Structure 1
Amino acid sequence: MSELPTPSLPQESGLPPLDAEGLLKLYREMVLIRRVEELAAKAYTMRKILGFCHLYIGQESVAVGAAAATPDDYWIAAYREHGHALAKGVSARAVMAELFGKATGTSLGLGGSMHIFDKDAKFMGGYGIVGGHVPLANGVGWAIKQRNEGRVCLCYFGDGAAHQGAFFEALCLAQLWKLPVVFICENNFYAMGTSIDRQSHLTDMSLRANGVGMAREQLRGFDVEHVRERVGAAAKFAREGNGPVMLEIITYRHRGHSMSDPAKYRPKGELEEYKLNSEPLALTKRRLEQDFGVSAERIAAVHQEVEAVAEEAWNFAESSPDPDPATLYDHVYAE
């Protein structure tokens, strides 16, 4: 049997190049995610956040770069989704309030860390079941196609989810129906504590798309501009009716799988090496300073402004009311 033909993505996204102000805006978004996540870690140790809490520290360039390429498209994500929600435009106040389980949160305090949702931002939710949300992206893609919206759905998941049966089923159906879905595997090299080379013989998760003849690409995700460009190319391909795309974006999380994970399974020096050579905030800051001539004072002002936003989000969450127990059965069924 001959090999299935695999379409190629366009070489260019068609997006305009970023100027200093554009890149500074993306830097601000990454700094905001980093600071909100640092405060979330602090809140968790103070038992202001209960249950699970998965931090996005180190992976900020993926969500921010993708958001810059798809500002008006739909997103659906897994349980490490605080950063995705912020990148997609959900307010820091609403995210922090949801983490605190308060009625002013995105899911009225009923979802918590793993179930942030904002219809207005076209953020269709975080999901706690590994890989369980991937088929739901097909539902979003089908709705887009039926309504002729001209949008795409970006579906985020980790390398561990790429082993689930639902993942393969979703890819098969998406390709069959030519759905406008971009599947994004954020490969941070560990499924909980299991390294990628102990999970799979194939360590390039994008190769799994070959089995259904889907367009695919692997890219390094530490450069926010590169992520913007390649996600933009994938979205352009899907938006034009060519079918879905599978992207594997190489990234690295700086914290454990969750707040309860000390991450002692990492080889000695691995985290330090990534922080030295592949830290997305540091790479973007260096480019702003060296290639765009942005002053240290301007960058410091961004950090100062973000700090005020993050602290205000904390104060808002802390002062917000708890959900009313009488509303427990509200929103069970769609109206």
Structure 2
Amino acid sequence: MNISIAENLYKQLLKIRIIEEEISDRYSEEKMRCPTHLAIGQEAAAVGVCASLNNNDYAVSGHRAHHHYIAKGGNINKLIAELYGKETGCSGGKGGSMHLVDKNAGFMGSTAIVAGTIPVGVGLSLSQKLKSSKNITCIFFGDAATEEGVFYESINFAALKDLPVLFVCENNRFSCFTHLSQRQPESRKIFQMVSAMGIESFECDGNDVISVYNMANQITKTIKNGEGPKFLELHTDRWLEHCGPNYDDDLGYRSKIEIKKSRENDPIKILEKKFPELSSSKKNSIKKELNLLTEQAFVFAENSNFPPEKEAYTNLYSQ
């Protein structure tokens, strides 16, 4: 991998981290009147996969979607404005943190319902196949989504129709406060289960953005070559509470050893170790630029207007 690619991956990781931390810091102001599921610690999964996609490829996500939206190229000003409920938000101020969309970037939506966008993504990939498009759809979801019935129906349909779709499972091991071992057989790996259902499947360290990018890049090429749907399980770590801006290390559902290990698996630090060519001056320059962009996004949101009352009756039905 050349330094320019590594630098771009680093910039995207840091961009997500800075924005998410700023959201966390400002959340107590109570100007963001919506639940937030932050992705601090899980940045590499989104960045590595989305770096293998182009602007015309589609992506959909679930309730924890900020990192996917940003990595896919979603407008940052519109993201923050959406959290503030402003009319300039990406969903007109009516969607909040969990309902994001930026069609210009190919980010076709996220939803609060666990596994809710999996069949939507499969439908998007079906449309791509019917149009003989050379593009694909990437569906992001967590390990808990693999416990929903619609997940299996979608996997089966994608395999049956040989669709150009990449299923990406970000396995952070927790559904709210419940560990994967309490929800699924310990001897079973998710990607192996999907493989048995007829879709070629892979797993990868989801905190190593270079490994994620290299694997996702190869997988997306095979899908675009007409080799059918693929499944990628990325092992990663959620640093903060399930929903909210705080750490919840004191709750006891995660051991101190597990918490310590997850913090050590920092995607940003892992990339810095792999690419010492990223000089301190370059990293500081990138950070300064991203801090400015983030501050400007919050100013944009603060200065934007709330939607007029009549907007409550729009976009209720397809037009």
Q: TM-score, normalised by structure 2?
A: 0.95
- Which runs of 5 or more structure 1 residues have no equivalent in the other structure? 1-17
SS in structure 2 at match of 1:285: helix
Distance, in Å, in 2 between the alignment partners of 1:24 and 1:242 is: 31
Letter of the 2:189 partner, please give it: D
Aligned to 2:44: 61
Distance, in Å, in 1 between the alignment partners of 2:76 and 2:268 is: 19
Letter of the 2:61 partner, please give it: A
What displacement does 1:295 show?
A: 1.8
Residues 221 and 227 of structure 1 are in contact (CA less than 8 Å); yes or no, is this contact kept in structure 2?
yes
Moved more, 31-40 or 251-260: 251-260
Which residue of 97, 100, 104 maps to 2:84?
100
Which residue of 231, 234, 245 maps to 2:219?
234
Question: What are the Cα deviations for residues 10-58 of structure 1, in whole angstroms up to 9, with x where unaligned?
Answer: xxxxxxxx32122111111111101111111123211111231100100
Residues 98 and 104 of structure 1 are in contact (CA less than 8 Å); yes or no, is this contact kept in structure 2?
yes
Which residue of 156, 164, 182 maps to 1:172?
156
Which residue of 269, 273, 283 maps to 1:286?
273
- 1:266 equivalent to 2:254? Answer yes
SS in structure 1 at match of 2:314: coil
What displacement does 1:203 show?
A: 4.7
Residues 159 and 190 of structure 1 are in contact (CA less than 8 Å); yes or no, is this contact kept in structure 2?
yes
In angstroms, what is the RMSD of aligned CA positions?
A: 1.4
Distance, in Å, in 1 between the alignment partners of 2:282 and 2:221 is: 34
Letter of the 2:132 partner, please give it: N
Aligned to 2:117: 133
SS in structure 1 at match of 2:255: coil
Letter of the 1:47 partner, please give it: E
- Which runs of 5 or more structure 2 residues have no equivalent in the other structure? none
Question: What are the Cα deviations for residues 45-99 of structure 1, in whole angstroms up to 9, with x where unaligned?
Answer: 1111123110010011111111110123100100100111111111211111111
Aligned to 1:275: 263
What number of residue pairs does the alignment pair up?
Answer: 314
Equivalent residue runs for 1:154-233 within 5 Å: 154-201=138-185, 202-233=187-218
SS in structure 2 at match of 1:269: helix
SS in structure 2 at match of 1:249: strand
Aligned to 1:3: none
Residues 127 and 133 of structure 1 are in contact (CA less than 8 Å); yes or no, is this contact kept in structure 2?
yes
Moved more, 261-270 or 237-246: 261-270
SS in structure 1 at match of 2:104: coil
Aligned to 2:236: 251
Residues 197 and 203 of structure 1 are in contact (CA less than 8 Å); yes or no, is this contact kept in structure 2?
no
Aligned to 1:52: 35
SS in structure 1 at match of 2:60: strand
Which residue of 30, 34, 38 maps to 2:21?
38
Residues 100 and 317 of structure 1 are in contact (CA less than 8 Å); yes or no, is this contact kept in structure 2?
yes
- 1:109 equivalent to 2:97? Answer no
SS in structure 1 at match of 2:201: strand
SS in structure 1 at match of 2:93: coil
Distance, in Å, in 1 between the alignment partners of 2:206 and 2:157 is: 27
Residues 49 and 216 of structure 2 are in contact (CA less than 8 Å); yes or no, is this contact kept in structure 1?
yes
Residues 204 and 218 of structure 1 are in contact (CA less than 8 Å); yes or no, is this contact kept in structure 2?
no
Distance, in Å, in 1 between the alignment partners of 2:219 and 2:309 is: 44
Question: What are the Cα deviations for residues 142-182 of structure 1, in whole angstroms up to 9, with x where unaligned?
Answer: 11001111111000100011000000010001100001111
Residues 97 and 320 of structure 1 are in contact (CA less than 8 Å); yes or no, is this contact kept in structure 2?
yes
